[in-house]
């Protein structure tokens, strides 16, 4: 059997057979034979040396785990070089298809948690976490020196180091630069002392712990309250005034 239907990630391949076994779905695939450039001498060849079948875990099909049996072709050149055909299905030394890996990358970011994502993809939690680390490593590079404007805020991350972590961002672009393991004054102070020789302006909320850490670490920083927190303080102040004024009024006027 051969079908021409295009399946995501498998546009390039020819499906030669499908079968269902023990609740799993198996797709037998190969790539049409075509001329390849020899990696050794540059000549073009389509002379087949041999085939080897590789089992690759793929995405779920109708909620069933699917596997690809990929019949990998090796070509041989007139210079004697043997090499694998190019393919868009699976990378070298991988047991999962490229499509599966990409789907996991999306899921590991948007998913509820690592455990749930791992179950969805029928893989281990370690694999899901490793994937996440690979992606995040590219977005958070180690910062040696902070820019002149930074923003500091805390968020609830629940790590081994504490319930709250501190995020340091570029104050102009809003791009996250670093994450501190906890929000203690010591941690914030030590971090800033090391990396903030250029910092002139710090945008942050008005909590006292941060402010004292920033003051201890920097010589004369300009501290700017961020708009959200600033508005909250204004509201509280206004509310206190309202209560005080109302408290001075006669009950009749107060209700009015």
Question: Contact residues for Zn ion (CB under 5 A)?
Answer: 38, 40-41, 43, 77, 79, 81
Q: Which is nearer to Zn ion, 38 or 146 (CB)?
A: 38
Q: Which is nearer to Zn ion, 41 or 206 (CB)?
A: 41
3-class DSSP state of 138: helix
CA 165 to chain centre: 18
Residue 54 C-beta: closest distance to Zn ion, Å? 24
Residue 87 C-beta: closest distance to Zn ion, Å? 20
Where does 121-184 have alpha helices with state H? 125-139
Q: Count CB neighbours of 133 within 10 A.
A: 10
Q: Which is nearer to Zn ion, 80 or 138 (CB)?
A: 80
Residue 81 C-beta: closest distance to Zn ion, Å? 4
Report the DSSP pairing between strands 222-225 and 201-204.
Answer: parallel
**Closest-CA residue to 186 (of 212, 220, 224):** 212
Asked whether 27 and 66 are in contact (CB, 8 A), the reply is yes
Q: Which is nearer to Zn ion, 43 or 239 (CB)?
A: 43
Dihedral angle of Cα 117, 123, 129, 134, to the nearest 10 degrees: -110
Residue 83 C-beta: closest distance to Zn ion, Å? 9
Q: Which is nearer to Zn ion, 41 or 109 (CB)?
A: 41
Q: Which is nearer to Zn ion, 75 or 114 (CB)?
A: 75
Residue 79 C-beta: closest distance to Zn ion, Å? 3
Q: Which helix (H) or strand (E) holds 215?
A: helix 208-217
**Dist CA 178 CA 145 (whole Å):** 11
Residue 115 C-beta: closest distance to Zn ion, Å? 49
Q: Which is nearer to Zn ion, 43 or 194 (CB)?
A: 43
Dihedral angle of Cα 222, 227, 233, 238, to the nearest 10 degrees: 120
Residue 45 C-beta: closest distance to Zn ion, Å? 7
Residues whose CB is less than 8 angstroms from the CB of residue 168 and which lie 6 or more positions away in sequence, other chains included: 143, 146, 150, 151, 152, 176, 177, 178, 179, 180, 191
């Amino acid at each position: 059997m051969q079908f021409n239907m295009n399946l995501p990630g498998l546009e390039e391949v020819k499906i030669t057979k499908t079968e269902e076994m023990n609740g799993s779905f198996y797709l037998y695939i190969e790539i049409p034979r075509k001329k390849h450039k020899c990696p050794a001498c540059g000549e073009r060849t389509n002379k087949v040396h041999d085939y080897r079948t590789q089992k690759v875990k793929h995405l779920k099909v109708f909620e069933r785990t699917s596997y690809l049996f990929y019949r990998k072709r090796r070509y041989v050149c007139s210079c004697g070089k043997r090499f694998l055909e190019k393919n868009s299905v699976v990378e070298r030394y991988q047991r999962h298809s490229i499509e599966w890996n990409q789907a996991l990358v999306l899921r590991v970011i948007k998913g509820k948690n690592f455990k749930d994502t791992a179950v969805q993809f029928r893989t281990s939690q370690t694999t899901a976490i490793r994937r996440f680390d690979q992606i995040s490593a590219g977005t958070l590079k180690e910062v040696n020196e902070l820019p002149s404007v930074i923003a500091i805020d805390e968020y609830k991350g629940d790590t081994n180091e504490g319930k709250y972590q501190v995020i340091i961002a570029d104050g102009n672009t809003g791009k996250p630069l670093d994450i501190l393991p906890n929000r203690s004054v010591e941690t914030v102070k030590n971090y800033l002392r090391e990396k903030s020789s250029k910092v002139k302006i710090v945008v942050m909320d008005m909590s006292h712990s941060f402010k004292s850490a920033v003051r201890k670490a920097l010589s004369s920083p300009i501290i700017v309250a961020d708009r959200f927190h600033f508005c909250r303080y204004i509201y509280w102040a206004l509310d206190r005034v309202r209560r005080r004024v109302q408290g001075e009024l006669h009950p009749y006027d107060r209700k009015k």
